[in-house]
Amino acid sequence: MKSDRVKKGVETTPQRSLFKAMGYIDEELERPLIGIVNSFNEIVPGHIHLNTITKAVKEGVRIAGGTPIEFPVIAVCDGIAMGHVGMKYSLASRELIADSIEIMATAHAFDALVLVTNCDKIVPGMLMAAARLNIPAVVISGGPMLTGKSFGKKDTDLNTAFEAVGAYNAGKIDEYELKSYEDSVCPGCGSCSGMFTANSMNCLTEVLGMGLPGNGTIPAVFAERVRLAKKAGIQVMEMLERNIRPRDIMTEANFKNALACDMALGCSTNSILHLPAIAYEAGVIINLDEVNEISAKTPHLCKLAPAGQHHLEDLYYAGGIQALMKTLADGNLIDDSLMTVTGKTIAENIQGVTNKNPEVIRTLDNPYSPTGGLAILFGNLAPDGAVVKQGAVAPEMLKHQGPARVFNSEEDATSAIKAGKIVKGDVVVIRYEGPKGGPGMREMLFPTSAIAGMGLDKDVALITDGRFSGATRGAAIGHISPEAAAGGAIGLVEEGDLIAIDIPNRSIKLMVDDAVLEERKAAWIPQEPKIKTGYLARYSKLVTSASTGAVFEK
């Protein structure tokens, strides 16, 4: 066992003495040492209950003959960090999470890991660490939040609260109704209940084969979630015994499966940052052209909030991710021969699974759209690509041309929107918010929610070299690459320039002559870094483009 280097033989007497100082006994040290990575804290609703999940995991490990040893990792709540400097740290935390797990697992010679996670950057950060370390590992999420019941509306969620602010500022609701949403849209623990980034990544973890069936959809408050956690603890011991490692599971074929399910689910645009980053650690390259190729042949079968009215608990009751995978496998749209952390193939996992609600999971002959929920756009404004959640765009905005309204920060754009300075037909451009320029590539849920709340989401587009929350809906196009801070064309846009967006034809163009753009580029002066000290200053120097997953340079 890998852990023998810290517990076997005469030479490790000092190490064993340190274990004894913590109360471990010889019988525990004779067993495999299983690291339990717990991202619990008291500031993230998706993580507030993870001590309960972690306890269940440890019980499972002990049942199967291992010694569980818990250690922590950081977690940022994107909702609380939204709209201020805190959001700059969210994506940047992903690399710290992966690095800290690598450090702890290697320094203490763990034989295997169970990764207890739930929210946006923590899930991909843990998967990146698992791929990098390549020791047996199982991921278990804390599960999705239940939907809220607010002010006469059947199903509400965090996005309802963000959009309610826009509606209040537009005079469409009063203070009493606004407070009602505040008090009820998030009814308890769990990852926010729509197909936002956290749930997108938890579902795709299940597709990748790194989470047990049910990982993506069993609600946080259900006892079934605790039972699944115990099974995760048991299952990691089988992975160790059979020497099944993350890179045996996270193969190129399984990433293609993940992209196909991503398209069928209409996941968060952030998945197009995280899947390439996880793949990179597994030695697999995902290029953005592949995303469009898979989208072209994969129908959009699920419209969960914010694209539709269904939420994660509806998907759970419909049969969950396994039912979606069964539908796609029956249509030969995914490879079901691949290994998973169950120790079985996808085909074995989905045997006998049925779709219990064809309105939540549409059949292949009745999709919402014949193509996937995400699209990658290219053009002179984004030669390296940009991403849009096309399944959440109103039909009338799939093609749009309008004048640019240019802002060099999220705050400036949000202020203009709230002041009524943005009108029908405009294209809001927010730049210098990319991985380097932000730094940290903030989510733009405040401006997109303000646009939606004021009733302009069917009339106004927003493009940015930053990114969007999975809760965003409307013609919101992010990850413009190259970013402004790297000299990308988005940094050359001037007020009033026409921008043409054609999502069906995967195009985004700045309607300015090439000669004029060359003149602007010659005169372009990069902005001073917005943050010059601390972690983000180092991050800005190391991070690569959004088109490559915003990973660190080697």
Active site residues: 469
Task: For residue 14, count CB atoms less than 10 angstroms from its CB and return exposed for 0-12, middle for 13-18, buried for 19 or more.
Answer: exposed
SS3 content of the chain, % helix, strand, coil (to 5): 45, 15, 40
CB 15 within 8 A of CB 28: no
Q: 96's torsion region: left (phi>0), alpha (psi -120 to 50) or beta?
A: alpha
* Residue in 350, 202, 314 with CA at minimum distance from that of residue 267: 202
Compute the CA torsion angle 124, 299, 448, 158 (nearest 10 deg). -60
Distance, in Å, from the CA atom of 551 to the CA atom of 271, rounded to the nearest integer, reads: 14
Residue 120 is labelled as binding a ligand: yes
CA–CA dist 483, 500 (Å, integer):
18
Instruction: Return the HEC string of 303-366.
Output: CECCCCCECHHHHHHCCHHHHHHHHHHHCCCCCCCCECCCCCEHHHHHCCCCCCCCCCCCCCCC
Distance between CA atoms of residues 171 and 156, nearest Å: 20
CA 196 – CA 359 distance, rounded (Å):
20
Report the distance separating Cα 107 and Cα 71, nearest Å. 12
| Residue 416 identity | A
CA end-to-end distance (rounded Å), the chain: 30
Q: Are 429 and 397 in contact, with CB atoms under 8 Å apart? A: no
Beta bridge partners of 71: 37
- In 3D, which of 294, 298, 309, 297 has the Cα closest to residue 357? 309
Q: Is there a contact between 333 and 372 (Cβ–Cβ < 8 Å)?
A: no
Are 553 and 542 a contacting pair, CB within 8 Å? Answer: yes
For 543, phi then psi, to 5°, come to -75, 145
CA distance 281 to 132: 5
Q: What angle do CA 294, 297, 298 make, to 5 degrees?
A: 80
The string of DSSP letters for 447-511 reads: HHHHHHHTT-TTT-EEEESSB--TT--SSEEEEEES-GGGT-GGGG--TT-EEEEETTTTEEEE-
Does the annotation place 365 within a ligand binding site? no
402 three-class SS: strand
**CA–CA dist 133, 151 (Å, integer):** 48
> What single string gives the DSSP state of each residue in 405-451?
EEESSHHHHHHHHHTT---TT-EEEE-S-STTTTTS--B-HHHHHHH
Helix (H, G, I), strand (E, B) or coil at 552: strand
- Per the annotation, binding residues for Mg(2+) are 78, 120-121, 443
